[in-house]
Amino acid sequence: MKRFLYIVSLFFFILTHSWGSPAPAMCSFGDPLFGELSHQKVSFEKPIAYKVGKENLVIIKFEKPHLPSGYMVSVFVDTLKSPKKKPETQGWYPSTIIIPKEAGAHVLGIQVNLMYKGS
| pLDDT tens per residue across span 7-50 | 555 555 554 544 555 555 555 556 777 777 878 888 889 888 88
**Nearest CA-CA partner of 93 in 63, 60, 66:** 60
Distance CA 57, CA 39 (A): 24
Give per-residue pLDDT as tens, 57-112.
999 888 888 888 888 888 898 888 888 899 999 988 889 999 999 998 888 888 88
What 3-state class would DSSP assign to 50?
coil
Whether this prediction's pTM lies above 0.85 is answered by no
